[in-house]
Structure 1
């Protein structure tokens, strides 16, 4: 099969080619619950750039060369002997984690903390290829309204945004405020999920005028250009007290300090983006009683819920398609901020 293969890290992200488009050996069924999926679309994620940088080399056991791509959807191609409920040709979206189902975390539905798991595209070969090896427990059948290439990024970007927005929606009431920092690939989904799940007023921050325009189209009630005065702007919109919930899809640079400053006392700051550090004096944590919440992708059940919203037209994923052979173009466009929404590789 053809695949876009990572052979070496590039800490500065300055190489002309991050991956090599080449022929590789097809994956094969190894266990009774394995499934081969023919890729219809593979999302290109900022995490892939972090992988290229080498940030994940100590977090995963993968050895180069290997195939990135952890946002995958397609059609069932081949089934292990123990797989039931699916047949060849079924359109599916793949939860990003392949779990055994045996550990306590699995049985509680806490997929992201399973003790026995494989994460294609992170610590095993992923979907920047024509076919993918995954597991039956990861598959969700797609309704006829959704095509694989249109939904692939939901498996990480969408699922991560959904999980954070769902957490926030549980305590947001009408008349309260939610701030979303970053209206890109994750943020534009988070806006729509919040709008679908709660009645809070949504304020969106971004540096790019195009992203703010996208945010308005996704349902933001207020947009604020991140030009250095965004904290003051948010405080003005919220009567000087800040927002009950802040979801930070950036997680680096000055976004963290500003996000915490926008969170009102007893409010919740949800950190999704990464690369920076949270530094807050303990006395401030005590006196403000703010809650800081980490978010790691999401569960199988949450991906099912997100597909239900997409099927009903309540969430729409903005994508730009690239042929698999143009994976480097997609990665460079993402790195330089030229992708509105999400990039998707189509074999």
Structure 2
């Protein structure tokens, strides 16, 4: 019956936290491999030269204190270690305060890289990671009652992402209105995947179906995120299938994986346990300071949603 009501969100929180930890882990590994040649002291766009052209409040970052290669690498390794603590659930064993500190540090370290990353970090998924990462701070430790408000803030973020993407397409190239975009999208996308060639040669009627499916998934389905129970779950499953198709047909870096993680917020425990039979206890009530922090977060998101 929980599938048809709001239900509980203990497993939902688990999937969100583990998914976000995995995204952070991959992001810090990327930094370890790419940062020095791109943004290091002798990189293409060195951070120390960038900081001479901007003010601190334009690009707040820990690297204002020490924009050196050694600092870039040490902080990336720290971030990777923190991501592993979160991914394994070890940080959850010490309660909500420790959990929040770990997630805050992950967000702060990633913010420090993104804000000085210049062209290389100007894509949408970095901003998405920071927003989702900030929300994750307030989810609380496993074993405590999940803050449903934060789960719904993830849904609000997902709605803005999906519905906004749909509107941009309709306002942009006419091919999205005459259903021809997908006839050449797989061929011209920035980073084709191993199956992109095969997707490109699908029949014309399937390409037109892809465009129709895109419009339905991005313009109609997102409204279902705000319904509790089965409508919200079905909307989330459609979104997961949509991004699974995108993941197979191309390569959008962390965008697809991050969106899939955020989409977990639309699934309640009944839906998740139907696929992954398990259960977790959440018999510890949230502490009053945690509730206050959640309400302050709600107020902040509401304010920024009105005037970004």
Q: TM-score range by the shorter chain?
A: under 0.3
TM-score under structure 1 normalisation? Answer: 0.25
TM-score under structure 2 normalisation? Answer: 0.28
Q: Point out which structure has higher relative CO (alpha carbons under 8 A, 6+ apart).
A: 2
Structure with more of its chain in strand, by fraction: 1
Structure with more of its chain in helix, by fraction: 2
